[in-house]
């Protein structure tokens, strides 16, 4: 019998990515404090939160295989979170224009019953174009990406803000690196295809 797969996330973007795998899965909120620790680097923050989310849900469903993920936008070692509102999104995009960021996308898969734990990081290097204030305003009014780390959605109009994306896992920038997810699910005993 195959174990239940649970996505430990409230993100509609991660849920949409999981749906691409055409497999049954449940979604449960991890209820984890996402505050960074003092001096915590963006990659370490993303990795810690991905594992914390997977473990929090796995404690409630110990027989399940639980996926946790987190993404932190890294601007020269500074973590940029989700803007939450228009003014913060404008400020983020103004800081990011003409610059290169690394979106640190972390993944963890946990099954308490089998003592399975795997974790990985899928960094995505993103080069933003030189953006005018008018272009920033037009983009934000059109897409309102206030729930996205870095204030942009590459899977939508946000692609027009960019000069380049460098990644070995194309879904990592959206928030869940599916190539790594599939690899870890197979390692945990979940049959895919």
Active site residues: 70
Task: At 110, list the tokens.
Answer: 């946990």
For residue 103 the two structure tokens come to: 């979106």
Helix axes 133-143, 86-96, angle to 10 degrees: 130
Q: Do the beta carbons of residue 126 and residue 164 sit within 8 Å?
A: yes
Distance of alpha carbon 174 from alpha carbon 177, whole angstroms: 8
Q: Are 117 and 187 in contact (CB under 8 A)?
A: no
Tokens of 79: 């973590």
DSSP annotation of 4? P
């Amino acid at each position: 019998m195959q174990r239940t797969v649970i996505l430990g996330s409230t993100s509609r973007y991660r849920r949409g990515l999981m749906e691409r795998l055409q497999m049954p899965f449940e979604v449960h909120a991890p209820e984890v404090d996402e505050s960074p620790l003092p001096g915590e680097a963006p990659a370490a923050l993303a990795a810690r939160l991905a594992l914390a989310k997977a473990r929090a849900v796995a404690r409630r469903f110990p027989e399940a295989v639980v996926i946790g993920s987190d993404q932190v936008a890294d601007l020269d070692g500074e973590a940029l979170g989700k803007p939450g509102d228009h003014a913060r999104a404008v400020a983020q995009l103004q800081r990011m224009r003409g610059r290169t960021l690394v979106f640190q996308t972390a993944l963890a898969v946990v099954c308490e019953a089998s003592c399975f734990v795997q974790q990985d990081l899928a960094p995505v290097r993103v080069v933003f174009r030189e953006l005018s204030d008018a272009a920033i305003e037009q983009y934000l009014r059109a897409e309102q990406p206030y729930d996205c780390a870095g204030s942009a959605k590459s899977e939508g109009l946000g692609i027009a803000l960019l000069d380049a994306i460098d990644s070995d896992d194309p879904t990592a920038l959206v928030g869940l690196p599916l190539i790594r997810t599939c690899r870890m699910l197979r390692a945990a005993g979940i049959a895919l295809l």
